[in-house]
Amino acid sequence: MMEDKFVDQQGVYLLSHSVGLPLKTARSVGDAGFWEPWLAGNESIWSHWLAEIERFRGQLGTLLNSDASHFCPQTTISSAVNKIIFSLTPSTHKNVILMSEEDFPSVAYALQQSHGLGYQMRYIPAGLNLNDLAVWDEYLSDDVALVLVTQVQSNNGVQLPIGAVTAMAAERSIRSLVDIAQAIGILPIDIQQWSADFIVGSCVKWLSGGPGAAFLWVNPDMLELCQPQNVGWFSHEDPFEFDIHNFRYAKDALRFWGGTPSVYPFCIASASLEFVGNLGVDKIRQHNLKLCDKIIGSLEKDELISPVESNSRSGTLIIHFGAKHDQITEKLRSQGVHFDSRSKGIRLSPHIYNTEAQIDVLTQLIDNSR
């Protein structure tokens, strides 16, 4: 009974694309990792806290098949993106940053700040099929310096072919930045299968790790080329050297860190990363697909907006009930189904803590309110 491991739901909670439900152990994990070392009132506070953050990096490495040293903790994805932009030296011939109009706006806002460095933004129009490599072939042109590829786009629930796009970018000497915010914890990810230069993500959604524990993965081949501008003593090769005239970048991804880090979010997140890793993302995904198939089976033609094909389907279903949209969604809300809405429709994300019985209630409600 996997749902017993998570806090009890009020109704049917289908918002894992937004905020995953916490594990029941989240409070005690926070007590042990964050409060106890602090409340102990001795000099070993930071060694405990930094060990928690190392655990976080290690758990990310295990889940995503990479080395802990390639990960740098971040507070948000957008700030990680901003740090990437200001760490690279722009070239006058290759100065376009490419992204899709369906990518997440917060990441776009961070990328748009690059204009002061001489970059220009270019957007792949919404509506083009980003699973068609011919589209990428056309847009990954010689003047592109950096491409953002979002593994799962949050408005349309589409999963993109990251391996193929990052390989195409690498062949053309275009730096690639992959946003895995909506994928980590629900789609199995093996970083070794990609040719990415940077990967950003967070733990608040499918990982149930709460807000504030974001991260940046940097390809080790890129490190020497990256000179982040937004730094602090934890970006130093030896943070405890304290020589005011001698800043040297950390040799690993921690050069992207900054000043005194937050700790609490990483305690919560590393416990949930460990939980998800032990359970297996494959298992979560199989359960998600089974529940999604049940929901899809109850829909009428054209109501499913997100893809039906398994290779381009994400963990989230986007549904629009056409003329009956308001009447059905009001009914669902009034009966305690928790979901949200974007311009294309409602978003439903069944997780391991959702049961088949809950989905049967949902599909019955849909049927009865037609």
Q: What is the contact surface with ligand PLP in residues (CB under 6 A)? A: 76-78, 104, 106-107, 150, 154, 179, 181-182, 202, 214
CB of 150 to ligand PLP, least distance (A): 5
CB of 85 to ligand PLP, least distance (A): 14
CB of 368 to ligand PLP, least distance (A): 32
Write the CB contacts of 40 (distance below 8 Å, at least 6 apart in sequence): none
* Rg, the chain, Cα only: 21
Tell me which residue has tokens 């699973």. 131
Taking CB atoms within 8 Å and a gap of at least 24, the contacts of 280-285 are 281/63, 281/185, 281/186, 281/187, 281/188, 281/189, 282/188, 283/352, 284/185, 284/186, 284/206, 284/351, 284/352, 285/186, 285/187, 285/188, 285/315
- Complex with ligand PLP: residue 208 or 358, whichever CB lies closer: 208
CB of 109 to ligand PLP, least distance (A): 9
The per-residue b/e assignment along 194-216, b for 16 or more CB within 10 angstroms, e otherwise, is bbbbbbbbbbbbbbbbbebbbbb
CB of 81 to ligand PLP, least distance (A): 8
- Complex with ligand PLP: residue 147 or 365, whichever CB lies closer: 147
- The CA–CA distances, whole Å, from 204 to 15, 154, 195 equal 11, 14, 25
**Alpha-carbon span 149 to 140, nearest angstrom:** 12
CB of 266 to ligand PLP, least distance (A): 15
Residue nearest to ligand PLP (CB): 78
Which candidate, 152, 156, 206, places its Cα nearest to that of 179? Answer: 152
CB of 249 to ligand PLP, least distance (A): 24
Write the CB contacts of 86 (distance below 8 Å, at least 6 apart in sequence): 117, 228, 229, 230
- Complex with ligand PLP: residue 114 or 202, whichever CB lies closer: 202
- Complex with ligand PLP: residue 341 or 364, whichever CB lies closer: 341
Q: What share of the chain is helix, strand, coil (3-state, %, to 5)?
A: 40, 15, 45
**Alpha-carbon span 101 to 122, nearest angstrom:** 9
**Alpha-carbon span 230 to 254, nearest angstrom:** 12
Angle between helical axes of 45-64 and 264-279 (0-180°, round to 10):
30
- Complex with ligand PLP: residue 82 or 358, whichever CB lies closer: 82
- Complex with ligand PLP: residue 179 or 274, whichever CB lies closer: 179
339 CA to centre of own chain: 19
Report helix, strand or coil for 60. Answer: helix
- Complex with ligand PLP: residue 71 or 104, whichever CB lies closer: 104
15: tokens are: 């918002």
CB of 179 to ligand PLP, least distance (A): 5
- Complex with ligand PLP: residue 59 or 82, whichever CB lies closer: 82
- Complex with ligand PLP: residue 214 or 328, whichever CB lies closer: 214
CB of 284 to ligand PLP, least distance (A): 18
Give me the helices (H) in 187-280, please.
264-279
